[in-house]
Amino acid sequence: MTLIKEHLPLGAKKKFKPERRRFQRVNVSVLGRFMLPNRNEYPCQVANMSPGGVALMTPVTGQVGERVIAYLDHIGRVEGEIARIIDGGFAMTVNATARKRDKLANQLTWLANRHELNLPEDRRHERITPKNPYTQVTLPDGREYRCRIVDVSLSGAAVTMDVRPEIGSPVTLGRMRAKVVRHFEEGVALEFGSLQSAEMITNNL
C-alpha cells in the first residue's frame, strides 16, 4: 500500500475536524417518508439526527449500503446510505455539502429548542372550530377511532377521543399526517407534519 504523506510547514500542527465531532446528534421527533432503491415509499419518523446522519424509525428496512432518499418535515430532502440497522428502523448517513450541513445544523437547533423557547408553530396561528368537527384518527397500526375536533389551526389540532396514543406517536387526522404532542383530560393535542392551508384542512378533514 502506498502512503501519501502531507508535508506541513515546520512547527505547524495539523488540525483534524471529524464530522462526528463537529456535529452533535440531537433528539428530534419529525415525520417524513423515504424511498429505497426499489422506488417504493414508506413513512418514517426521525428519532435523532445530526447534519451528518439520521436515525429513522420505519416499518421496513433495507440493506446496509443501500441508497436512501428521505423527505422530512421542517427539514426537506436528505439523501445518503444505510449505515446500520437499529431496533425499529435504520441509521443512515447524510450526504451534503458544507453549506447544506450548516443549514441542517441551524434547522436542528431550532427544532430541538422550539418548545423550550416557547416557539411551537401552533401558537403562531389562530385556532378555529370547524363546521363539521367529526373525523377519524388513524394510529400507526391501522386502527381508526372517531374523534371530535375541539379546535384546529394551520399547524395543529386538539381532539377528543376514546384513546390517548403516547406522546410522539405518529397518527393521521383525516388525511393529514400529525403527531401527538400532549395529552389533556378528554383527548390529545396534535401537531401537523407540515403547515396546512385553510383549504387543505377543509379538504383533508
Residue pLDDT tens, the chain, 205 long:
333 333 334 444 444 333 444 567 888 878 888 999 988 888 888 989 999 999 999 989 999 999 999 988 878 889 999 999 998 899 999 999 988 888 888 788 777 766 544 444 444 456 677 788 899 999 988 899 999 998 888 888 889 998 989 888 999 999 899 999 888 778 898 988 877 777 778 778 7
Residue holding cell 488540525? 15
Distance CA 89, CA 61 (A): 6
Cβ-based neighbours of 53, under 8 Å, separated by 6 or more? 25, 80, 83, 91, 92, 93, 94
What are the domain boundaries of the chain?
Answer: 19-113, 121-204
Fold entry, domain 121-204: Thrombin, subunit H (2.40.10)
Same CATH fold, 121-204 and 19-113?
yes
In CATH, the number for domain 19-113 is 2.40.10.220
One DSSP character per residue, 136-200 reads EEE-TTS-EEEEEEEEE-SSEEEEE-S--PPTT-EEEETTEEEEEEEEETTEEEEEESS---HHH
